[in-house]
Structure formats: C-alpha cells, structure tokens
Amino acid sequence: MILPEKHPTIKAVPEAGSGPHEVRNRGTALTPEWFEDVAVNLSAAERRAATLTTRRSVKKAWQAAWLVRAITCIDLTTLAGDDTAGRVRRLCAKAKKPLSDELLTALGLEEERITTGAVCVYPTMVPHAVKALEGSGVPVASVATGFPAGLTPLPQRLAEIRYAVEAGAAEIDIVITREYVLTQNWQALYDEVSAMREACGPAHLKTILATGDIATLRNVYRASMVAMQAGADFIKTSTGKEAVNAVLPVGLTMVRAIRDYGALSGEIVGFKPAGGMRTAKDALSWLILMKEELGTAWTMPDRFRLGASSMLGDIERQLEHYATGRYSASHRHALA
C-alpha cells in the first residue's frame, strides 16, 4: 500500500461511523456574556495564521494521505444561474467517484470507498441530486434563505428551507442577516437562526456568516457564538460571492469560537470554509489549521467541510504526480 498505514495523526480515509450526520448541536439560551467582552487581536491572528503553514508541513506519502482526506471533506458545489439537471448529474457522478480506478490502485486504495463529503446545489436542483446520489451515501446539501444576500422576508426564507428538506436535502446552508451583526442586534440574529434550525427539522444546519461583509474579527467571533448558541451544527465562512471569502485569520477566529463554545456548553460544532479555495495547497492549509487548533477529530467530514469544487481537480493532479511522478493536464480533471 503506497499510502501510510493507519496512524493516530491522520488516516488516509475516514473510519466507519464517522459519517456526515454524527454531530448535532443542541444549542443554548442566548448568553451574551460568553462573547460580548471578547476582543480579537488582528495582528496576532494574522501572525498565527501566517505561521501555521510554515511551521508545519506534511510530505510525500503523508501529504497524499491528507489530500485523500481533503477529498472526503469537500462539498462539491454548483451554484450557477445556468445550472441544469444534466450538470447536477455529472457533478454527482464525480462526487461518487472522485478518483479514477487507476489512481486508486496506484495509491493502494482500490478497496476503499472514497467519495466527497456532500454535493451542494440550489433548492430546485435538490431532487436531481437526490436521485443521482441514491444509494451512494453522499448527502445532498442545499443553500437556502435567499442565498447569497439573505434579504428576502423571513417567512419566504423558512419556506425555502422546508422545500429543500422535503425534496431530500440532508444539509441546509443558510445565510444570516448581516445587518444584525453590524448593529449588534444579537437577539434578532439568535431568533433568526433558531427559526431556521427549527425549519430544518432532521437536516443539519450550516450557518454562513458572510465574514467578508461583517467588518471585523470581533464581529466574526460574536456572530459565530450567537449562531452556535442558536443551534447551528456547522458555522461557515462565506457564500463564495463576497469580495473576501475564506481566509485563514477569519478561520482561526471561528475555530477558536468553536473551541470556546465547546468548553462552555459541552456541544460539538463543525466548521466549513468556503470561497476562494482552488488548490491542493489550500486544502492542506485548512486541514493544518483544524489539526492544530481543534485536533484530529475536526479533520473528519462530520466536523469539517471544504466549500470548493475547482480544488478537487488540483488535488487529483497532485495525487497523480505522487503516484506516477508526472503531472497530468488540468483538462483531464474537469468536474462537469
């Protein structure tokens, strides 16, 4: 087997039972004293984020193993205005089989079941994705609540969640009203996310904070805390449509909030960076952040997702280079 044998640090593929729906956050009452007096040092956060990837590295077989792990954490996504049933079916086919048989054999993983973490689509595309993924074990995620701006009336946003869940979505990626963060209206934000959590029913709630829109790392920390107190199962950086999307200082602030919330409540919350991530190096950087700040459990798809699609093609190229010594042309790894 080319990849390393199972090791406490990180495994080539997730263990059985570590599926995407193991973790639920029961939430708490709104508790401002958990976050209102917390300050975030911008320069320290930037310095810590900058040194994460320079002080730690994974090489050769271990790097290949981490990249396979990254594939299992990807929410393979299409959120385009010209999405069609055919495009969604092609994306789902890639999610079910992200690596070729030849590459799996070269990596010694021919007996393993490698899939992406989920497929994420618009609500009207959910039925097509559910049908295409039937029996695969890959969950369907849907954006909802007036994505990406989130400025439609709340009853319509809740109805959109219920529509997606009834169509078969197992995960809902919602967007918050950024005004509530900018005006420090924590009760309104808490009530909004709580209502969305209730509308999700059995589906997991991933709360998008749109961190590029909410100005400061202190706001990022506070919004993270309120969303988790309201019952978010995951907190997510961005819609991918903001001017600034997933960046490591923001991710560091959010995972520190997850750690603090866990210590105070005993609850487990997942994390999803999204937007602007395109390379295998990006995937490794985020995995290193999770490993360093939260531990190995948060490198698994039930607690960590990567909101990216173009990243998968570069990961394939890096794995082929590891297995064969040669880089393949990027057009050989088209997604849809």
Beta strands 118-121; 270-272: pairing state: unpaired
**Site of tokens 């976050």:** 35
Beta strands 270-272; 234-236: pairing state: parallel
Helices (H) then strands (E): counts for the chain: 12, 7
In degrees to the nearest 10, what's the CA dihedral of 138, 240, 255, 219?
A: -140
| Dihedral (CA of 154, 218, 258, 59) sign | positive
Ramachandran class of 215: left when φ > 0, alpha when ψ lies in -120 to 50, beta otherwise: left
**Site of tokens 């810590």:** 48
CA separation for the pair 264, 261 (Å, rounded):
5
Contacts of 1-6 with C-beta under 8 Å, sequence gap 24+, read 1/108, 1/109, 2/61, 2/64, 2/106, 2/107, 2/108, 2/323, 3/61, 3/64, 3/65, 3/68, 3/107, 3/108, 3/109, 4/61, 4/62, 4/65
Give catalytic residue positions: 173, 236, 272
Residues counted in the chain = 336
Strand partners, 271: 235, 304
User: What's the Rg (C-alpha) of the chain?
Assistant: 19
